[in-house]
Structure 1
Amino acid sequence: MAGALGGKERMTAHIDVDHITLSFAGKQGVLTVLEDVSLTLAKGEFVVLLGPSGCGKSTILNLIAGFIPVRQGRVLCAGRPVKGPHPSRGMVFQQPNLFPWLSVLDNVTFGARMAGRKKAAANGDANAWLNRVGLAGFERHATWQLSGGMKQRVALARAWLPDPEVLLMDEPFGALDAQTRMMMQELLREAWKQTGTTILFVTHDVEEALFLADRILVMSARPGKIAEEVALPFGPDRDIETLAQSPGYSDIKQQVLHRVRTEARRSMR
């Protein structure tokens, strides 16, 4: 289990979520979203969070990003407590959230320019990232001229431009059609392999998790806990077209799907 890590391992973890419990007061009383959640990510690791709706997956991302304050437990990044947002931790959402009045290039460089980076340097790095995500030649296009998959590629380039140590990804491909989604998954894995960024990725899609992750963490129904951890043996050079033929794939898929469905049924009750 992800929470059963010793002190030495915790000290060397890149991301360390340590015994987090989070509750909110509401009209119906106190709602506990997370209960004693612990998980770690090694530097450069790609971990996927799976679980039923409302189990706290996005809340964990927001805690690591620094958008939600830690009240019980602790969250560390590179051994330092997370006390608020920081450029070392990037976030990618389900919707690309682009500025429609800015060009593709200006959307990618917006954060860097607001942080005081010189425009020429930011543009140079942004052009390199747009080329990497297959958008060379679209720098001056308006975002309304782009397809949904192209907009999400802009969002990826924007998130990676500051060279973050960590990327937190909240169902970034959930709104895309199946073919575009597969292309984005391949693009993401290639960019991750090139950069070595630590990634925590939230999805509801078991097949997406099996293609992307080093490890899958399945969360329980609310209050969210880490219910099961599954290490994937498929290696860094897996192919999206042939992965289902890999030894053990069917058994692992069945194991993960069964646990996710079990927790989803619990959440409905």
Structure 2
Amino acid sequence: MIVLKTFLLIPFAALLAALPLAWGWGLSWLDLTLAAVFYTVGTLGVTVGYHRYFTHGAFKTGRRLRIVLAVAGGMAVQGSVIFWVASHRRHHAYADREGDPHSPWLFGTSPVALLRGFWHAHMGWLFQREVTNYDRFAPDLVGDRDLRFVNRYFWLWITLSLALPAVLGGLVSWSWWGAVTAFFWAGLVRIAFLHHVTWSVNSICHLVGDRPFASRDKAANFWPLAILSMGESWHNSHHADPTCARHGVLRGQLDVSARVIWLFERFGLASDVRWPRAERLAAKRIPA
């Protein structure tokens, strides 16, 4: 947890400094390209790997891809795979009720309470001492030798997430300055930006948005985050049917993560994919 908290605060400070520094401090197309590539890898590691595969079992896959997804999720620097999955399963078990680790509704419904709840849901919960019980909420991952290894070496995936952009930036530009700017923009700033996109699903998507499907909580679909979150912000749809591989189940709802799972299935890398079923959607749909 100390490692995680450290790498929550450092990239956040970098994000705050990013805007003024962008005007005249070494931001290049190479930095943006590397940031986009590593953002995509980390985001899909979380959305396809940590979330839809490890947490909810939306599809099945083999050992190699399972390890790749766990490592890619670790490179998003949002916590080790077992920590993330256990916390998220607990969130679903107690969504927006006592016991939910990051609901914005835990302190009441007044403006002050909701402001406090927003902070708590967005990132404040990560600084609490309480840690979700792994054996209770993620016994399958705890019992997996490969995942215990990936979990134990979370510090290594953090290091790679920061070092690889710097190394590539230095090699492509053939300069130390290229390594420094890539480390900043494609490393620190990219991680911080990804953090806040993911945390916004915890905070914003439980406060505002559309709720076309019945669920036990206040999860909502918030379309402005759909592309950046790669489909995770169709949150009401997800909470209505948590094990479904596609979150954007209605017409026009872009879900990049679901398309990646579709590609896995197409190339024989995924099986038993839990795609949405018309009758289940109809049963959950709230009449207009």
TM-score (norm 2): 0.27
TM-score, with length taken from structure 1: 0.28
More helix by share: 2
